[in-house]
Structure 1
Amino acid sequence: MKKQIKKAIALKYEPSHFNAPHVIAKGSGYIADQIIEQAQKHDVKIVEDQALTSILYQLEIHEQIPPSLYPMIAEIFAFVYQAEQKAGNLKNG
């Protein structure tokens, strides 16, 4: 059985510069570990989805996600936003 190499992708949405979220970092193995470590260090939410990672990994740095992925990525961004809002309410509440 072949061991799966860990991969990580970091996306960012900057509506003033890009029409869609774009890849700001990607890597496998040690680089993936570093991306995840930096995300955790800066309280960036991490979503694990092996199938989506495989698709996004084909994109280049600064490349926008394709329109076919808009619904899926929008759902993830909405989930993360809601989780951050709930966490903020718990801290402030």
Structure 2
Amino acid sequence: MNQTPSGRQAIALSYDGQQAPTLTAKGDDELAEAILAIAREHEVPIYENAELVRLLAQLELGDAIPEALYRSIAAIIAFAWYLKGKYPEGFAGPAPSPVNEPGP
């Protein structure tokens, strides 16, 4: 969510792990607050970036994010997954610490 000259603005993305993330909700003011309330209720991480929200708010609901934003959105999704202890399918998780490995 971000503060804009006209008030608050929020967007929500959905990602299935297979296709590009899609815009699932967007709104200003009261609708933005409702989007954030639902996110908090479901413990969805919230990321604030005014420029990114401005760009994504130009999309229509159901649109995939533009390819130019893949890396930015991927970094945000990866961090959100990390916060929730999730990893992509096939990812084994962090490497074991070398401190715990037996010596020669």
> Which residue does the alignment assign to 1:10?
12
Deviant stretches of 4+, over 3 Å:
none
Q: Which amino acid counterpart does residue 50 of structure 2 have in structure 1?
A: Q
Query: TM-score scaled by structure 1?
Result: 0.83
Q: Distance in 2 between matches of 1:84 and 1:35?
A: 20
> Which SS does the other structure have where 2:85 is aligned?
helix
Q: Distance in 1 between matches of 2:68 and 2:56?
A: 12
Q: CA deviation at 1:14?
A: 2.0
1:2-81 matches, cutoff 5 A: 3-15=5-17, 19-81=19-81
Q: Which amino acid counterpart does residue 40 of structure 1 have in structure 2?
A: R
Q: CA deviation at 1:22?
A: 0.2
> Which residue does the alignment assign to 2:90?
none
> Which SS does the other structure have where 1:35 is aligned?
helix
> Which residue does the alignment assign to 2:85?
85
**Alpha-carbon displacement from aligned partner over 1:27-48 (angstroms, at most 9, x marks no partner):** 0000000000010011111001
Q: What is the identity percentage for the equivalent residue pairs of Structure 1 and Structure 2?
A: 39
Question: Which structure 1 segments of 5+ residues have no match?
Answer: 87-93
Q: Distance in 2 between matches of 1:57 and 1:3?
A: 15
Q: Which amino acid counterpart does residue 6 of structure 1 have in structure 2?
A: R
Question: Which structure 2 segments of 5+ residues have no match?
Answer: 87-104
> Which SS does the other structure have where 1:23 is aligned?
strand
The count of residues paired between Structure 1 and Structure 2 equals: 83
> Which SS does the other structure have where 2:7 is aligned?
coil
Larger helix percent: 1
Task: Select the structure of larger CA radius of gyration.
Answer: 2
